[in-house]
Structures are given as C-alpha cells and as structure tokens.
Structure 1
Amino acid sequence: MPLGQRPGEKSESRYCGVETSFSDDVPNVLRHNLTNAFDFVLMPLTDPVYRPSEMKESQNGPGVPPFAGSDLVLSPAQWNSHVVGKISSWIDLDSDDEVVRRDSETTLGQELAWAAHLSLQACLLPTPKGLSCANYARCVNQILQGFHNMQLWLRVPIGFESEESEDNPEKNDTFLRQDAVYRKQSGDPWEWWNTFRLLCEHHSQLSIALDILSSLPSPNSVGRWTGEPVRAAIVHTNAFLTNAHGYPCLSKRHQKLLTSFFNYSVQIVISGEGLLHTTAQSSEKPLERNDCVVGEDGQIRKHPLKPYLDYIGYLYQRIEPLSEQERFELGYRDFLQAPLQPLMDNLEAQTYETFEKDTMKYVQYQKAVHAALLDRVPEEEASTTTTVLMVVGAGRGPLVRCSLQAARETGRKLRVYAVEKNPNAVVTLNSLIRLEGWQDIVTVVSGDMRQWAAPEKADILVSELLGSFGDNELSPECLDGAQRFLKDDGISIPSSYTSFIQPITASKLHNDVKSHKDIAHFETAYVVKLHSVARLAPSQPVFTFTHPNFSPKRDNRRYKKLLFELPEDTGSVLVHGFAGYFDSTLYKDIHLGIEPSTATPDMFSWFAIFFPLRKPIYISAGSVLEVQFWRCTGATKVWYEWSVTAPSVSPIHNCGGRSYWVGL
C-alpha cells in the first residue's frame, strides 16, 4: 500500500519497493512482500548461476535460460504493476575475458527481451565498471532503439564522502566490502553515469537508480542528481542507524535526502538484511496480520524489512502538505511553454484569469502606487490636487482597481487613463468601469500606447509588461514609446528591472527539446516551472533597464559576458542550459521578482525562462563557465543570442533571430 497521500499529489514516490533475491516461486515472493505493505519487488529475472556458454545445445539451439517460471505465474497486471526486473549483476560486457563478455551480451539481451515480453515498467541494469563501459553502453543503446515503454534504470552509487564516514559507525564487514568495491571502480560515480548516458545519446528511456550508502558526499555533490533522471533510490539497510528502542532510523543528512527524493517522484527501494523477530513474543507490540508470515514450523515471523518500510512511511507522512500555489503549479512542472507575444497576439480570457489570481503581485503594485501618491501629493494638498495616473497595458483592469484602492487608502484624488490595445479586453474593461461606477474617474483608451496621443501628461505611469526574463515581453520598447506623455518629474512603476541567468542541469528539459529533432527548438527560450533541475551556481545579473529613460540616444541592445565558478566540491557536471529570472524595483524599496535569492513569496504569475544548449557542456570540478548573452533589436523584432565560450565553445544560438524572436 502507498506510503501516504498528500492532497493534490499523486507522484510515484508514494510507492516503496523491496529488493529480493532470485526465487523459482515468484507468486509466493510477491505475495509475501505485498502482504507486508511493499508496493513492488525488485527481483532477478534469471538464476544467478546461469551462463549461456555452459548450457547444452539442443535441437532448437542454445538451452533456454532458467527464468523464474512462465509468464503465466502472474497476471499481466501483476507483472506490470508489482515487478521491476533486475538484470544479472554478474554480467561484465567490457570484460577482457571473451567468454565472459559474450555470455554477458547474450544474457543482457535475453533478460531484457523477457522483461519486455512481461510488459514490465522498468528493469534495473548493473552498475558499470567505472568509466570503462563502452561496450556495455553500446549493447544497451542497441536494445533501447527497439523499446517503446520500458525504462532502464542504471544502478550507480550516489557518491562517497571519505574512507571514514561519521554518518554510521555501525557498518558491518559485508557493507564495508561492498563500499570498497564501489570505491575501486575509479572516480566519481556521476562520471560513470555521464559517460554511459553520453554513449547512449541521452536516451529518454535510460534513467538512474541511486544506491544510498552509509556515507554521503557533500551537499553540492548530492545536488547534481536533482537535474538528472533519477527514478529510484535503493536504500541499503546498512545505511540506517538504530534508535534507543532498537528500531531503524536515518541520520539527518539521509532524512533530508530522502525527503527531497519524495518531492521529485523518486521511488524508494529497501535492500539488504534487516531486523528479524522470530516470534510474536519477541516483539514489543502485538503483531498485526499484515505484518506477519507463518513459517513451515508454524511460528509467526515478522518481515525483517517491515521496520525499515515503516520508517520510510513515517518520513513520507512528515512532509508538509502541498500549498495552494504548489498544487496550482503541479501540472506546469518541467513543462515547456512558448513565451507570450504580447504585442503581436491578443491574450485570451484564460490567460488574464490566471494572471489576475496572483494576489501578491497586485499587493506589491498597490503598495508602490500608495507610496508614490504620498510622495507626489503632500497632505495639505490632498483635497485640492488630482493626480493623473495612466495604466498602460490595462488588460481587464486589475491595476486600475489596485491604483484606485491605493488612492482611497491615502485620501488622494485620482484621474485614471486605462490604455489597452486588445479590443476584447477593452470590452471587459468598459464593463468593469460601469459596474464599479468609475465613469467619472477612469477613461478607457482602446489602442497601442506607442501611438496614442494623450490629452494630458501623467504624474504616474503604471504597467505590468514584465516577462520571465524582465525585458522579454518588450517592456523597454513599450515604455520608451509611452513615456512621452509622462511629466519630466513623473514616476514610472516599475522604475527598473534586471534579468538574471543561472547554469542548470536539466536532463528532462533537454530531452523534451531534443524530441523535436531540429535546431530551431534548441534556439528557442521557453517559459517553464523549473522542478527537476540542479542549479549549479548562484544566478548573475545580465541586462538592466531603467524608466523613465530620457536619454536622447536610447538603445535597448545589450551584451554581457558572465563567468560562473562552480563550487569545487560539486564535482563535474553537465550544463543543459540556463535558467532566466528577473527582479524589478516598482518604486523605491518596493520590489517584485522571481530571482531565487530575492523572489517575492507566494507569487505565481511568472515562471522562469529556459535557454537550452544544442549540445550540453561538460564542466570538470572547479572549472569556470564563461557565457555570452546578447539582446538584439531590429525594425520589427527583438531577439536573444547566447553562447558558451569556456571551458569549451558552443555555437552562437539563435543567430540573427532565425529561430526565436519577439515581434514589435
């Protein structure tokens, strides 16, 4: 049964599996583990003693491998829902021994063919022998070309901290030997994975099962895996500590790791030997029926891994429920969307509806107008002075509403012009004015702010033209055109905004872009709710715009070179692209933005923007990443170009705006 259920959350991390050894009696193995509340078993598909070269030839060819019964021992639904296949761990497709290598190739093909025949959802591949895995990857890649649904999980350890870890001083000799074997397989386990997936051309059906050992690497090193396609975490019982009552528990670092996995739909698998209570009398509490099995001698036996499962369930149920904002964003996580073209296209009602639900955004705008009105009109002039406020890009009226509310709060008199180019939104805007009785205060103007001839100049100019990257919805061009009807000492809200970029590992996003099989999609910037990504370095500012800008030589073209230093303890990484954000100053100290370190809380109007790289860039530990970014303008469009120039050189993406641009 699932570990728990959080409102609005249906990720696969609710399900916990158990790693089992080979058995001829698959139905009994499955019944035993499902009865004890595990959701699936991770089990070998063939007898571990099987070697193709040792099988006798028959009239029909080589002998049949010793599969665990036929496909009829379980129903198709049971195979599909409750069994993950485990490829024989002895295989070594890069062995110097030709017999071993050929046996390994044959067995891999046979077992994966059998798994596909059973319609298993996934199969676990053995850990590669370090970086020497070319033939192993070649064989897997060949097989992947014929797969349609089944995922292959490559088993790799999450990494190592040191020879002497303080996480768990109670490791037994068996676990120490296993740990030592991993260490001898030269280098960083992430490098093993990276080599393997590069050889397999970033295949979307190749993912990762991480072995969670008693020692963990640095938080920066662990963080790399967030952007990789991790599907399972195999937690060894030796990674657990024992509490004062004799029950298993985990160190705080391990708890934090598993909690993060739950948020990324990673399934937990428990592996190893566990606590064994041979009789009901040896347990401190009465055993429930589902906790137990009856042995051949009639004794009641508790499942040795049930206490570990209970602890994993406890961790899962401790997770904070999803907030309203998180539930809203669930369907958008890692989903690529084309950015809006606000000048070329008229927004639909659903888009306005989504924006208008973002209460926090309008709270900040109302604060800004409130402060500007107080500064603009002294208290002694409040009853005699009328402030002219123009909302440019008024949409369906949310900024008009919060501006009038700010006027009521401050006791200032206001005359409002609401300028909107979308004729459909103007219909709703006019209806709002009549409904609220604002006819004497608000004048609706249907037209483009850049061409409108205003009857008077404004004291305050208010707009919400910002995009995910700040200037990517052409706020600079629009406000430059509108500021001609702003007084020389007038106030622009926002007064400035800055874009930011950050290198990220984003395997899923890269594969989604790659699926289009063309360069154009790799040269397009996407709006996306980033989730399964690893942020590799703090974001840095790129382009800044200030309003009003009365310079006689206004130029909205920009160029910036940035250097990102990755923390040395992160290890090597693969950069799939760049996350883009913005931060804006609405007025004085009132700001609005999505840059992670200063993001406005509880605001969901903007997701980040993603600039992909046609070919991911490998960055070795402690290296510097050099990035070039351009904002280019033409007579009818604005576009971005970007390139990596160190440690290796990428092509300049979107040269001349050939693939992605915003129309003027």
Structure 2
Amino acid sequence: MSSISAGRDLFCTPDITECVRKAIDSGFTFIVAPLVHPRYYRNDAAGVTKQRDDPLTRSDMLLSTNDWGTVVVGKLSPWICLHSAFDSARKNAEKVLLEELDYAVHLSLAAVEVPLKSADCANLARGVNEFLNSRISNMTIWVKVPMMTLSSQMEDAVAEGDEDSRSEHPWEWWNRFRTLCNNNKRVGIALELSADLPESDEIDQWYSEPVKALYVPTKIFLTNRKGFPVLSPAHQAVVRKFYKLEAQPVVTGACHYKSKGMKVYQQYLNYLHETMAALDPLEEYAKGYEDYLQNPLQPLMDNLESMTYETFEKDPVKYTMYHKAIYEALLDRVGDDEAETVTTVVMVVGAGRGPLVRATLQAGEKARRLVRVYAIEKNVNAVVTLRNMKREEWHDQVTVVSCDMRHWQAPEKADILVSELLGSFGDNELSPECLDGAQTFLKADGISIPCQYTSYLAPLSSAKLHSDLAIPVASKDPLANYETSYVVQIRNGKVLDAPQPCFTFSHPNWASTINNDRYKRFTFQIDQKSMLHGFSGYFETILYKNTMLSTVPATHSKGMFSWFPIYFPIKEPMYLDGTSPLEVHFWRRRTRTKVWYEWAIVRPRTTPIHNVGGRSHSIGL
C-alpha cells in the first residue's frame, strides 16, 4: 500500500524554503502556511497599507510554480473577521480576504484554508462565493471546521456576539456556509479532530461531506510504552474511516517529541494507513468506482458487451446461491424413486454467456437428476458463445434459442424457469415484464427462480453525489440529471434511516390481469439535523424457499458484488431539522413502450413530482 499524503500545519513560516525542506525531510508531502505574516494587520480603509512601501508578503520566486501548486496550501490571516459589527472593520476584512485569495491564485496554489469559527458566516460565504464566481481558477477552498465545539471556541463566539453558536453543532455552521455558496464543488472541508470525540451519529454525519483534509492536533496524541506518539482506538477508527474517503491528514501544533522530531507523527499516520483492514470482495471490485454515477443497464434495449458479462460472472456468491436454489428445486421436483426416469425441463431465460446453464447442469449432477436445458438469449453476440459451449461441452443436453423470451414459442412446458434479470432496484431492468411474458411456457405447477423480489428505499445524504449532477449535459434539460436514477457504489454518503420495503413482485404470476404499476408511501423518522440529497435503493430476492440474495445493508449477501445501490436524486437538497418526519411518495409507472419511476416529498416540505411521465428517464420495453 502506498504512503499516505500528509501535511504539516505551520503558524508562521519565516523561511518558506526551509520550512518546505524540513517538512519533506520529515515525510510530509505538503505544508499549510500563512499567505501573509499573521501579525501583519492591514487597514485599507484608513490608508495604512498604502503608506507602507514594504511588500505584502514573501516573493513568489522563493519556490517554483510547481512547488507552490503541489507542496503549499495557503491560509488566511487569522484576524480577518467578516461578521464584525463595525462597518469599517467589516469592509476592510472583505478587501483583505479578496486580496489574499487573489494572491493565492497568483501563486497557483491548489487550496486555501478558510477558518469557520461560528454560525455567523453569511458575509464570509458571500466573500468566498464572490471570489469563486469571479476568478477562473481550479483552486479549492478548505473550510476549516472543528469536529465538535470546544469551550474556548464557544467563549470566543459568544464574546463576538454570536449566541446561536452555543447551541449549534459545527456541522450546522458548515451546512449554512456551503448552502450560501450554492453547494459549490470547489468548497470542501478541513475537519479538525479534538481530544474528545462527539457521539457516533455526529461523527457519521461528517462521512457524507466533502472532507478534503483531517487536521490532527499533536496535543491529542498519547505516548506508548516505547515513547512514541499514538492515538486512542476511537481516534484511530475515525482517522481510518476518513482515509477511505481520501481525506489527507494534516498534523497541527507543536512537536512534543523534540529528540525524535515531527517525523514520528507522520510515520504513525502512515502506519494507520498501511494497517487498514483488507478490502472485502465488494470493496475490491468497486475500487476506483466509488461515488461514480453510472446509468443503469437496459438489457432489453441494449446488447451487453462481453466485458460486462465477464465482470458479473466473477461474482463469488450469486451463482453459488443460484446453484443451491436450482439443486433444491430439482430435489423437490423429482423424488428419488423417479430420479432415473423423469427428466426435468429447465429453461434459462436471459442466458447471457451461460453461467446459469452451467449452474443448472452442475446442480443436476449433484442432485442426480436428469435435466434438459433450454438457453434463451436475445443478444445475438452472446448466442455465439452459447452455441460454442453447446458444441464443445454441453452437447445435446442444452438447446440454444436465439430469441426474445417474450416472443418465443416453446416446444414444451418448463418445470423450472431460471433467470437473472434483476437490477439494482430489483425490478428496474424489467424483470416483471420479461417473466410475465416468459411464464407462458411454464407449467401450471412450475417453479420460478427467483420466485420473489422486493425493492427497498432509504433517505440519503451525499453532497458528493448531488454536486456531481450539477454538470450540465448539452443534449438534456438542465433538470434532467436530477430526475434520472443512477447505479453507484456509495462511499461518501450516509443513509439517514433504515431502508423500507418498496415494491414486491412474485413469479409466476397467474393473476387474470397483470398490472406492474406500483405506488408506495414512506414515512422516515430522522432524529438528527441533516441534509437530504435523494434516496438510495436496494433489493432482496428469494430465489427458492430459504435461499436469498440481498443488497440491503443490514442483510447484504457477504462477498456479493454484482449490484451496486441505485440513487434517486432530488432537485434541491433539503434541510431536515431532526424533529419532523420525512414523508416520501414513490411510483412505478408504465406504458406499452416504457417503464419509469416518479418520486416526491410531501413533508417536511413539498417538492414537485420528479420525472413526471418519464420525461427525463425511462426504461424501454
């Protein structure tokens, strides 16, 4: 595992070249340094700055442009106060803020730290937002926020007249600031740890936010028996969790191990990174795709590529459970006394490249039952693979059919119908419509595998996912991104309440009239102040009897990676105050040619219905 990128926070840098050298020698990859000497107070309003001939700060020629952009993060003068009650002080602070940010752009810095000390941040947000919208630059803003409010900070805030900060959690300061900045993607968090950690729910709240850096004060380190700095187990868990979100640790404060130097802090933080638990199969599979929005597959409309089939066929769990379900169904279908005389007809619909055909044949061998298999597949490219498998391995035991399962005229009825048509939301790849058509060639007492599946929905907070939707697509309406569902492995997000069952489908469905439209009303109780950015979707399926597969977090089939969750965004992030219930309405709608979802919130605030009539996104039949 590669070394962690760690920073060293410095209060003052008399010789920036020497400070950079010492930090690099200690194993750090960058420093956080003042743009201007912290004691250099300027008062433009009084003309003090103009009367002084000395330079504003050090020369930009002390480092190369590449070094400024890669090894230095700037920070503002600590005395800048944009919420001062005095007009002259406030106006001066506004000028100085823009002056220092402008100089940071001149230096090509990648980021600048902006401290957030209280809930009174409207004018600071306005100043930062003005800068972000007026300068063409890739520079990001690190809003420095404490993970929990310290008594000293409370005293400062109250002394400055901000009584509201006494009761507000720092997350609310941040939430107010980023909302005022219109959720600008160039605004992230530099989160500062403290000796005391807040409740677990409050810590979890930060995991759904864009934390770019994690400030680790030297004063919170303990000393182990060998005389080296270590963190408490609770702090270790927090740091490792933020490592997974790719937050960079920044050591701040004085060195308490003079003989060993700052290097021991960097080495310990790197040790925490190197000793993180090994990735499970799902994390390994999703590596590099975390929080990456993808359009769901539409197998009915599009032919899947060989690479897609190959990826899903590597799942270590799914086909094992299918094998188990088919094995049990074969035993139930044919008793031991008929094992050598009765042949079970198994039809694999949507056979792909044949993994379920192999599972069926292997289950037949294990159960010592005779089976005859039909492999039905509409993708003519996958049919090439099936026919090669038949010629080289399966022979007369398998009949390959190149056809849409809904239109095939079967020569005989099936005892068992096997399919893997489920999407991330269960029914979103149109398994109900496909199996309703395919069941015409299933015997009246036949078995469908799967026999039932239920989608689940949960409220989700993820500023990362929602901000990624702000990128317009030239061929789409600007709102279309927020009315489309996405498949995504959610890492930088928090599920705000336990997922609840949504839509259930059972097969075979022998109802005289089949209607796959659905409607569901949810009430979620979220006890913590949060921002809602949409909903995450999952599913559970019963393959046969007690054999199940699940993507629901609480019951997830361990090691299975065939499905990521689905994400249904909302147009505008919604603030939840932690007291009012969240009432959500969800629909599955269809016409002769397409299926789509619609969703809306009724409480605590009513939103328009998203994706009315499938105007932005639908699944083609």
- The TM-score, its normalising length taken from structure 1, stands at 0.88
1:41 is aligned, of 31, 35, 41, to 31
Partner of 2:442: 486
Range moving further from structure 2, 497-506 or 145-154: 145-154
1:231 is aligned, of 212, 226, 229, to 212
Partner of 1:23: 13
In the alignment, structure 1 residue 538 sits paired with structure 2 residue 538 = no
Aligned to 1:190, the other structure's residue is in SS state helix
2:171 is aligned, of 174, 190, 194, to 190
Q: Give the Cα separation in 1 of the matches to 2:51 and 2:457.
A: 58
Q: What does residue range 179-328 of structure 1 map to in structure 2 within 5 Å?
A: 180-181=155-156, 185-186=165-166, 187-277=168-258, 302-303=260-261, 305-323=262-280, 325-328=282-285
What is the Cα deviation at residue 119 of structure 1? 1.1
* CA distance 1:88–1:65, change in 2 (3 Å): farther
2:78 is aligned, of 89, 92, 99, to 89
Partner of 1:292: none
Aligned to 2:520, the other structure's residue is in SS state strand
Q: Give the Cα separation in 2 of the matches to 1:332 and 1:314.
A: 25
Unaligned regions of 5+ residues in structure 1, if any? 7-13, 161-174, 278-300
What is the Cα deviation at residue 245 of structure 1? 4.6
What is the Cα deviation at residue 494 of structure 1? 0.2
Q: Give the Cα separation in 2 of the matches to 1:465 and 1:508.
A: 30
In the alignment, structure 1 residue 405 sits paired with structure 2 residue 395 = no
Aligned to 2:400, the other structure's residue is in SS state strand
Contact 2:215 2:252 in 1 (8 A): yes
What is the Cα deviation at residue 246 of structure 1? 4.4
Range moving further from structure 2, 47-56 or 366-375: 47-56
Q: Which amino acid aligns with 1:428?
A: T
Q: Which amino acid aligns with 1:512?
A: D
1:388 is aligned, of 338, 345, 348, to 345
* CA distance 1:245–1:99, change in 2 (3 Å): farther
Aligned to 2:129, the other structure's residue is in SS state helix
Range moving further from structure 2, 187-196 or 349-358: 349-358
Partner of 1:140: 128
Partner of 1:627: 584
| RMSD of aligned alpha carbons | 2.0
Q: Give the Cα separation in 2 of the matches to 1:323 and 1:582.
A: 20
Partner of 1:423: 380
Aligned to 2:553, the other structure's residue is in SS state coil
1:452 is aligned, of 408, 414, 417, to 408
What is the Cα deviation at residue 526 of structure 1? 0.6
The Cα offsets for residues 477-516 of structure 1, whole Å up to 9 and x where unpaired, read as 1101111111111100001000011111111111111212
What is the Cα deviation at residue 181 of structure 1? 3.9
Partner of 2:545: 588
Partner of 1:9: none
2:40 is aligned, of 41, 50, 64, to 50
Partner of 1:495: 451
Runs ≥4 in structure 1, deviation > 6 angstroms? none
Q: Give the Cα separation in 2 of the matches to 1:514 and 1:660.
A: 17
Contact 1:45 1:67 in 2 (8 A): no
What is the Cα deviation at residue 178 of structure 1? 4.7
* CA distance 1:194–1:19, change in 2 (3 Å): same
Q: What does residue range 433-452 of structure 1 map to in structure 2 within 5 Å?
A: 433-436=390-393, 438-452=394-408
In the alignment, structure 1 residue 505 sits paired with structure 2 residue 457 = no
Aligned to 1:234, the other structure's residue is in SS state strand
Unaligned regions of 5+ residues in structure 2, if any? none
The Cα offsets for residues 208-249 of structure 1, whole Å up to 9 and x where unpaired, read as 011111122111111111111110111122223333454332
1:5 is aligned, of 2, 5, 20, to 2
Q: Give the Cα separation in 1 of the matches to 2:423 and 2:278.
A: 30
Contact 1:51 1:103 in 2 (8 A): no
Partner of 1:297: none
Aligned to 1:322, the other structure's residue is in SS state coil
Q: Give the Cα separation in 2 of the matches to 1:454 and 1:461.
A: 12
Partner of 2:564: 607
Contact 2:26 2:263 in 1 (8 A): yes
Q: Which amino acid aligns with 1:321?
A: A
Contact 2:596 2:617 in 1 (8 A): yes
The Cα offsets for residues 154-212 of structure 1, whole Å up to 9 and x where unpaired, read as 0111124xxxxxxxxxxxxxx86357546873311111111111111100000101111
Partner of 2:105: 116
Partner of 2:291: 334
Partner of 1:76: 65
What is the Cα deviation at residue 642 of structure 1? 0.4
Contact 1:158 1:210 in 2 (8 A): yes
Q: Give the Cα separation in 1 of the matches to 2:53 and 2:331.
A: 86
Contact 1:275 1:307 in 2 (8 A): no
Q: Give the Cα separation in 1 of the matches to 2:295 and 2:512.
A: 34
* CA distance 1:155–1:66, change in 2 (3 Å): farther
Contact 1:24 1:68 in 2 (8 A): no
Q: Give the Cα separation in 2 of the matches to 1:302 and 1:406.
A: 63
Aligned to 2:287, the other structure's residue is in SS state helix
Q: Which amino acid aligns with 2:252?
A: S
Contact 1:121 1:150 in 2 (8 A): yes
Aligned to 1:650, the other structure's residue is in SS state coil
Partner of 1:554: 514
Q: Which amino acid aligns with 1:148?
A: S
* CA distance 1:389–1:155, change in 2 (3 Å): same
2:535 is aligned, of 578, 581, 588, to 578
What is the Cα deviation at residue 138 of structure 1? 0.8
* CA distance 1:428–1:491, change in 2 (3 Å): same
Q: Give the Cα separation in 2 of the matches to 1:224 and 1:62.
A: 48
* CA distance 1:62–1:582, change in 2 (3 Å): farther
What is the Cα deviation at residue 617 of structure 1? 1.1
In the alignment, structure 1 residue 159 sits paired with structure 2 residue 115 = no
In the alignment, structure 1 residue 525 sits paired with structure 2 residue 485 = yes
Contact 1:640 1:657 in 2 (8 A): yes
* CA distance 1:42–1:489, change in 2 (3 Å): same
The Cα offsets for residues 523-569 of structure 1, whole Å up to 9 and x where unpaired, read as 00011111111111111110000111111122111111111112x3x
2:604 is aligned, of 647, 655, 660, to 647
Range moving further from structure 2, 202-211 or 19-28: 19-28
Aligned to 1:514, the other structure's residue is in SS state coil
Aligned to 1:648, the other structure's residue is in SS state coil
Q: Give the Cα separation in 2 of the matches to 1:609 and 1:343.
A: 19
Q: Which amino acid aligns with 2:31?
A: V
What is the Cα deviation at residue 62 of structure 1? 6.8
Q: Which amino acid aligns with 1:454?
A: A
Q: Give the Cα separation in 2 of the matches to 1:494 and 1:95.
A: 65
Q: Which amino acid aligns with 2:192?
A: D
* CA distance 1:87–1:66, change in 2 (3 Å): farther
Q: Percent identity?
A: 48
Q: Which amino acid aligns with 1:522?
A: Y
- The TM-score, its normalising length taken from structure 2, stands at 0.94
The Cα offsets for residues 378-401 of structure 1, whole Å up to 9 and x where unpaired, read as 111111110000001111111111
The Cα offsets for residues 63-116 of structure 1, whole Å up to 9 and x where unpaired, read as 578544211101122211111101112111111112221221121111111111
Q: Give the Cα separation in 2 of the matches to 1:459 and 1:474.
A: 23
What is the Cα deviation at residue 325 of structure 1? 4.5
* CA distance 1:55–1:525, change in 2 (3 Å): closer
What is the Cα deviation at residue 272 of structure 1? 1.3
Aligned to 1:52, the other structure's residue is in SS state coil
Contact 1:491 1:548 in 2 (8 A): yes
